[in-house]
Chains A and B, each alone.
Chain A
Amino acid sequence: MEEKKVHVRAPVSDTFRRKSPFGQLFEHMSKVRECINTLHKGLTKYYKGNYNSFSNVASQVSQLEHEADLIKSNIRNHLPKTIFMPVDKGKFLWALREQDKILDHAENLAKMLNMRHTKIPKELQVDFIKHVDLVVKTVQKMENAVENIKDLIETSFVKREREQTKEYIYEVHAFEREADIKKYEITKGIYKLEKKLDPMDTYHLLKIIDWVDDIADHAENVADWLRSMIAK
């Protein structure tokens, strides 16, 4: 019942003063940041075999995802045809959509891991942690790129800031690529161990690595939409 309260509409006078769509995009992004940080810490513990507080992490992630969802729908609902923006509105919404998918995948991952605690084989533990580090770095670079939009707008899209954003976007791609390479390495490692492992464990390990990697993929998509949003 508690959660329903959030859906209560703002007073009419407040809806007149629409928050700026970019301001809300940053707000949404800060939810992503918080969520990924929580997940990062929780996942590292999980990989090390410490499952104590993971159900806590899962519910935190789920709560953040819900809060971000509200922001997302608020942006979508209040962006009618009559709003004139300095960037393509369609691309803006695609970036938002992909940013939201990061949270969807994070929530899915946390929930799935919470359902079945799978022990990571000793041989792969370091690689698993390295992989999640790379994924988190990808998201962080994406956050930098999104944040830089603030400066882009302030300066009315001058070259220097455009280059700065592009720089962050390149870094997103670089980290995503590294994360991908790591993922295949780990997958290979899992197949090598398949004789030793319980089949259900194998399945779940393969799934985990996929789920974590999905987050980086969507961070990359956000970066791509930003790139196309700021293109001349």
Chain B
Amino acid sequence: MDTTLLLIIGGSSAIAFYMAWSIGSNDVANSMSTAVGAKAITFKQAVLIAGILNFVGAVFVGSHVTDTVRKGIVDVTGIDSHVLLLGFVASLLAAAIWVTLSTWKEMPISTTHSIIGALMGFGLIAGGTSAVIWNKIGSVVASWVLSPISGCILAFIIFKIIVKLIFSKEKPVKSAKIVGPVIIGFTAFLIVSSLFLKTSLSKNINISDIECLMIAGSISIIVGIIGIILLRKIDDTKTEDYMTVEGIFRKLQIITSCYVAFAHGANDVANAIGPVASIIPLAQGMDIGGTVEVPAGLLALGGLGIAVGCMTWGRRVMRTVGGRITSLTNTRGFSVDFGAATTVLIASKLGLPISTSHTVVGAVIGVGLARGLEAIDLSIIKKIIISWLLTLPVAAGTSIAIFLLLSVIF
């Protein structure tokens, strides 16, 4: 290896780490803000758990999603490899800057959209309008509408079910003891099936979809039975003992939060290391067309970046989602988490473009519409939506500017 190559790899890895850090600091709110907002766990516990799970998710399951970022947004066939290299660096930096800015302003944005916007900007300047794969951009636009609305609807339904089956009953705690295990079972089903249904994990251990659903089903039944045993001891004689009901959901909420953190690490590490995974073969003079194995070290670097991001600046966005929009209790927080996780699972299996950040915000509104919240601050929601709409153009603009600057220098 010569020094230029080392410099390129070192420099791009540093930028990738910065991007991973910004992703961690912004997106940790998706998984943990409702749990922290509902006081199920403290902030310190949240960032620690989120950091570890993000890292694990990134390192063990993160390698399969890098292709979109590499080839899905910009049609790379007509572009010179030197230009391409600069472009990826510029895009990565631009996306990271926008995410950092949003985190500083405490706005939960989609980091995926940020990198897509940045790549789009580079594609426009490097190859003209024909170089950008507009379908992908269209899917981002669709996500603005689709994610919040589906999150909203699902969280609304889930919260209404909790009210109908538990709170409106004569003895809420007794009903919670019956409904609780069922919900625990469903949660287990959701987690297992999203881990193994059509993912790289299922390919690795070679199980089909039906097998996967069967496994998920049986695990959920077992977990449900364990739930019955655990909930058996709770005293259910009092009529208006809502704290006990909240206590049951408090534990469930922690589990769903952990799951979302793990899934986030698995899905979003690609946004940081995807471009780098393309830069390295380019710098070595290889073609981008072939599939490259993502080096394990790079995955670990991305995972570490996300984990550090969670732990350092994670509080900022968490404060917005978990406190400034509204204050949540455990049942509400669970409805939001469960609604968001289900939306993301179903959408990703159907191939629909969904952003977790958008879904979580939509889910909070959904619970509010179900008359479940004391007060929602719509002015903050408005600001958040504006930041979503700004993501694409700002990331694209910054990317273009950085790209032009780099072209002048190199």
Enumerate chain A interface residues (CB-CB to B < 8 A): 16-18, 20-23, 80, 82-86, 151, 153-160
Contacts and interface: CB of A to CB of B under 8 A. Distances in A.
Given A20-B327, A82-B382, A86-B371, A155 B376 contact: no
B79 interface: no
A155 B329 CA distance: 11
B46 to A, nearest CB: 17
A21 B379 contact: no
Nearest to A85: B375
A20 B382 CA distance: 19
B374 A159 contact: no
A153 B371 CA distance: 8
A2 B223 CA distance: 60
Contact of B374 (A16, A17, A153, A157): A153
Contacts of A22: 374-375
B369 to A, nearest CB: 9
A17 B325 CA distance: 9
The 10 closest A-B pairs by CB, nearest first: A82-B379, A155-B167, A158-B168, A86-B371, A82-B378, A84-B376, A20-B374, A156-B163, A154-B242, A22-B374
B378 A84 contact: yes
A160 B323 CA distance: 29
Contacts of B372: 86, 156
21 contacts: A16-B324, A17-B319, A17-B323, A18-B377, A20-B374, A83-B376, A83-B377, A85-B374, A86-B373, A151-B242, A154-B167, A154-B242, A155-B163, A155-B167, A155-B242, A156-B163, A156-B371, A156-B372, A158-B163, A158-B167, A160-B170
Given A17-B324, A86-B371, A154 B168 contact: no
Interface of B: 159, 163, 167-168, 170, 172, 240, 242, 319, 323-324, 327, 329, 368, 370-379, 382
A155 B375 CA distance: 15
Given A84-B377, A86-B371, 20 more contacts: A18-B324, A18-B375, A18-B377, A21-B375, A22-B374, A83-B375, A83-B376, A83-B377, A84-B375, A86-B374, A153-B374, A154-B329, A155-B167, A155-B172, A156-B159, A156-B163, A156-B370, A156-B371, A156-B372, A158-B168
A231 B329 CA distance: 24
A17 B370 CA distance: 23
A154 B324 CA distance: 19
B378 A155 contact: no
Contact of B371 (A17, A80, A82, A157): A157
Contacts of A17: 319, 323-324
A183 to B, nearest CB: 35
A20 B379 CA distance: 15
A16 B316 CA distance: 12
Contact of A151 (B159, B240, B323): B240
Contacts of B379: 80, 82
Contacts of A156: 159, 163, 167, 370-372
Contacts of B327: 20
Contacts of B373: 86
B70 to A, nearest CB: 40
B350 to A, nearest CB: 30
Contacts of A80: 379
A157 B167 CA distance: 9
A223 B378 CA distance: 29
Contacts of A160: 168, 170
A154 B170 CA distance: 15
Contacts of A21: 374-375
A201 to B, nearest CB: 49
A16 B168 CA distance: 34
Nearest to A80: B379
